[in-house]
Amino acid sequence: MIDWSAEPRTAAAFSLRQVTIQRQAFTLGPLDLDIPAGYVTAVVGANGSGKSTLFRLLLNMEPYDQGQVELLGKPAADADADVELKRRIGYLAELPHAYENSLTAEEKARFASRWYPSWDWSRYRKLLRSFDAESSDKLRKLSKGMRRKVELACVLAPNPELLLLDEPSSGLDPFAWQTMLAELRRFMEQGDRTIVIASHIPDEVKRLADYILFLHRGRPLGFYEKDALFDSWRTIVLSAQEGASAESDLKRVPGVQGWIRSAPGIYQVETDRADDAEAFLSSQGYQILSKQRMELEEILGCLIRGEEARR
Amino acid sequence: MWIPVHIDENRPEPLYHQIESQLRGLILGGQLAEGTLLPSIREFAASLKCSVITVRRVYQDLENEGLLRTRQGTGTFVSRVDPEQRQGHRFERVVEAFEKAVETGLQLQCTPGEMEAILREVMDRQLAQREGDSR
């Protein structure tokens, strides 16, 4: 096994301690999180898992009932430092703001530029050009994807320390999506920037993320280094000798998340400790037929099943 | 620059191990010449769809082996490789290829005798083919 604890620990872009939000229909937390600075963290979860609420609470847009939030080294709830802190953050909300409907892209950018001393007009124009999104129409007249491109250009123009992106690619065509990935990579090349991105799209997570945070119904299901996650979660297909007590053995497989019988004598086991599971199965006399990496959504499915079983 | 490293999702080895052994192979095999500037950690990670943590680890390991060196602010470069190290590596790669073949054989329940017979047959066929080609 790889000893990840040997990696140098980096500073946190933000930290949550026992943060809880109670609403009538929804509870978020308690959340204890340290999101590392200098990396891309993907927040993965189904609709209603709390991804957007997490972003909003960081920005003081969602009052929390309990706990502490530290953001870019400062307490996030400090009203005096609020503007100062938000100038260091770029936030792309999940849905466009209705109050911007009657603005043009230029007017939206001019409004945003007043709040960000670090706003860079040449950077903004370059981004619009690379997204192929130059237009003088009002934002409400633009297609969903076009409007998203304008928003992306605006959120990147001040080159903030921390980017919070809530499903940034919704509405983008495949070309614009590639451009977005390239621009976000270029942003990260600076070395000291942080992205937290909520995403439904497995390919986006695979291409962009260094860490993955799983959320489900407001509860964290785990925070993983991406490659370690995909290295250790595997589906193992095995064949059992006739008369073997497979069903009771499979329950004892290290890291077992679930198993099914796919044909007489053939079983499929999901595990989050692939190496240990394989060693165990071989020692019990099973023959390993294949060992495959699991997809992001399969891993999320396993984590959700485990969480629901514990409730 | 684009580095020909291919990740096989179905290999049991961890990602960093696959990337590291292929990159080492490209350096020791001479495909990446001394002084070649490697992609930045973020760029390489993106092209491999892996995390920067993995690439940083690979660069660090190969730096410790003396195959790479990092100049602050400039990037990571391929170092000079001594010929002896290169020679040793030639066998390493062959051994690795055989190991994979034997693994497949065992999975399909071949006996040692059967595998030896297959090896001889494959060698004979390929050598005959090469001789034919060079004529």
* DSSP string covering chain A: ---GGGSPPPPEEEEEEEEEEE-SS-EEEEEEEEEETTSEEEEE--TTSSHHHHHHHHTTSS--SEEEEEETTEETT-GGGHHHHHTTEEEE-SS--GGGTTSBHHHHHHHHHHH-TT--HHHHHHHHHHHT----SBGGGS-HHHHHHHHHHHHHTT--SEEEEESTTTT--HHHHHHHHHHHHHHHTTSS-EEEEE-S-HHHHHHH-SEEEEEETTEEEEEEEHHHHHHH-EEEEEE--TT--HHHHHTTSTTEEEEEEEETTEEEEEES-HHHHHHHHHHTTPEEEEEEEPPHHHHHHHHHHHHHHH-
pLDDT at A242 > cutoff 90: no
pLDDT at B134: 67
CB contact under 8 A, B16 and A181: no
Q: Are A161 and A74 in contact (CB under 8 A)?
A: no
Residues 210-249 of A with CB under 8 A from B: 210-211, 225-228, 230-231
Predicted local distance difference test score (pLDDT) of residue A150:
97
In this complex, do A227 and B50 lie within 8 Å of one another by their Cβ atoms? yes
Q: Which of A4-8, A48-52, A77-81 has the highest mean pLDDT?
A: A48-52
> How far is the alpha carbon of B45 from chain A, nearest alpha carbon, in Å?
8
- The shortest C-alpha distance from A64 to chain B (Å) reads 32
Q: Please tell me what DSSP assigns to residue B79.
A: -
The pair of structure tokens assigned to A18 is: 């026992």
Q: What is the reported pTM?
A: 0.88
Question: Exposed, middle or buried by CB within 10 Å (0-12, 13-18, 19+), for B58?
Answer: buried
Q: How large is the average pLDDT for residues A13-24?
A: 92
**pLDDT band for position A224 (50/70/90)?**
very high
Q: Which of B53, B70, B76 has the most A C-beta neighbours within 10 Å, making it the best mutation to test the interface with A?
A: B53
Strand partners, A287: A239
Q: Using the predicted structure, report yes or no on whether residue A41 has a pLDDT greater than 70.
A: yes
Q: Is residue A228 over pLDDT 90?
A: yes
Which of B42, B48, B51, B72 has the highest number of chain A CBs within 10 A, making it the mutation to test binding with A? Answer: B51
Q: What integer pLDDT is reported at residue B92 of this predicted model?
A: 77
pLDDT of A266 reads 93
In this prediction, residues A22-37 reach a mean pLDDT of 91
Q: What is residue A5's predicted lDDT score, i.e. its pLDDT?
A: 42
Closest by Cβ to B15, choosing from A39, A227, A290: A227
Q: Residue A309 to residues A127, A257, A258, A305: CA-CA distances in angstroms?
A: 47, 11, 12, 6
pLDDT at B11: 79
Chain segment A255-289, per-residue pLDDT in tens? 999 999 999 899 999 999 999 999 999 999 898 98
- Which residues in A lie closer than 8 A to residue B49 (C-beta atoms)? 206-207
The pLDDT value recorded for residue A67 is 92
State yes or no: pLDDT of A195 exceeds 90. yes
Rounded-to-integer distance, Cα B20 and Cα A29, Å: 39
Residue A161 pLDDT more than 80? yes
Interhelix angle A174-188/A121-131, nearest 10 degrees: 150
At B135, is the pLDDT very low, low, confident or very high (cuts 50, 70, 90)? low
Taking contacts as CB-CB distances below 8 angstroms, the residues of chain A near B50 are 226-227
Q: Averaged over B19-46, what is the pLDDT?
A: 93
Which of B9, B42, B50 is opposite residue A293, by nearest beta carbon? B9
pLDDT at residue A127 greater than cutoff 80: yes
Question: What's the pLDDT score for residue A4?
Answer: 41
Q: Domains along chain A?
A: 4-229 (3.40.50.300), 234-293 (3.30.70.100)
Q: Who among B10, B15, B46 is closest to A231 (CB)?
A: B15
Q: What is the pLDDT of residue B29?
A: 86
CATH class for the region spanning B15-78: mainly alpha
Q: Name the strand (E) or helix (H) holding B76.
A: strand B75-78
A192 touches chain B (CB under 8 A): no
Mean pLDDT of B38-66: 95
pLDDT at res. A2: 38
Nearest CA in chain B to A178: B46
Q: Is the pLDDT of residue B53 over 60?
A: yes
Tell if the CB–CB gap between B107 and A289 is shorter than 8 Å: yes
Nearest to A286 by CA among A278, A296, A298: A278
Single-letter residue type at A171: G
Mean pLDDT of B20-40: 92
- Mean pLDDT over the full length of chain B: 90
Mean pLDDT, chain A, as a whole number?
Answer: 92
Q: Is the pLDDT of residue A9 over 70?
A: no
B chain contacts of residue A271, beta-carbon cutoff 8 Å: none
Q: What is the pLDDT of residue A113?
A: 96
For testing contact with chain B, the best of A203, A210, A223, A293 (most B CBs within 10 A): A210
- Whether the per-residue pLDDT at A107 is higher than 80: the answer is yes
Q: Which tops the pLDDT comparison, A74 or A126?
A: A126
| Confidence (pLDDT) at A3 | 41
What pLDDT does residue A7 have? 46
Residues of A in contact with B14 (CB under 8 A): 2, 227-228, 231
Portion of chain A with pLDDT greater than 70, in percent: 97
Looking at chain A, how many residues does it have?
Answer: 311
pLDDT bucket at B18, cuts 50 / 70 / 90:
very high
> What pLDDT does residue B102 have?
93
A300 against A247, higher pLDDT: A300
